[in-house]
Chain A
């Protein structure tokens, strides 16, 4: 089954403890992206990647890192999480670069709480 898999679904952690949220897609998609969803703010893009070894900042990249060493994986790294990073995170991928004529396929989301 074609899908975008995020792990974990839920995560509670403490300030400063490094964490990684994994994202993997099995559709051979070039484009991958991370979003965070906060009440009243909509989906905001954190980082995106148009292909292997190519990553770019979205609108809210501060406090996050990503890597794209393989086409299928796009992990989101929080080196030193802070409470303002408590949010619902979505990974998404699409076939075409930049999404032209190709919609985003979303993972199931990761609800992160930083205390």
Chain B
């Protein structure tokens, strides 16, 4: 079974500070990596879909990088705001017609 690991499990960040966290996945047969943002009592919402080694994607203050050779992706949040408090999930796809496997998420708490 494909193992997708996220670290840390939980993170407390002061409002205004920048932060980042990691998603690790097996590098063999890599096909795609997804990042999702999941607010409490809502559904996960897609942030990024990344497929190429060296990919960098950005949406406002949030950005992500991808290293498929070593099997990791970083998510960065610049100047954290209270609305950034959420669980951030990554999910990996090994082959085109395969399962999408999720990590357990990083729970981000922004402190006012």
Contact = CB atoms under 8 A, between A and B. Distances in A.
Interface in A75-115: 90, 97-109
A74 interface: no
Nearest to B34: A103
Nearest to A102: B49
Given A43-B89, A98-B95, A109-B43, A104 B100 contact: yes
A48 B93 CA distance: 13
Secondary structure at the A interface, as helix, strand, loop or mixed, is: mixed
Range of interface residues on chain B?
Answer: 20 to 34
A41 B99 CA distance: 17
Contacts of B99: 45, 48, 56, 58-59
B2 to A, nearest CB: 9
A8 to B, nearest CB: 15
Which of B1, B99, B101 gathers most chain A CB within 10 Å? B99
Contacts of A42: 89, 102-105
Range of interface residues on chain A?
Answer: 20 to 34
Interface string A23-58: 000000000010100001111110010100000101
A105 B46 contact: yes
B96 A103 contact: no
A97 B100 CA distance: 11
Given A42-B104, A43-B89, A104 B44 contact: yes
Given A101-B51, A109-B43, 14 more contacts: A41-B104, A42-B102, A44-B102, A45-B102, A48-B99, A48-B100, A58-B99, A59-B1, A98-B93, A100-B96, A102-B49, A103-B36, A104-B46, A106-B44
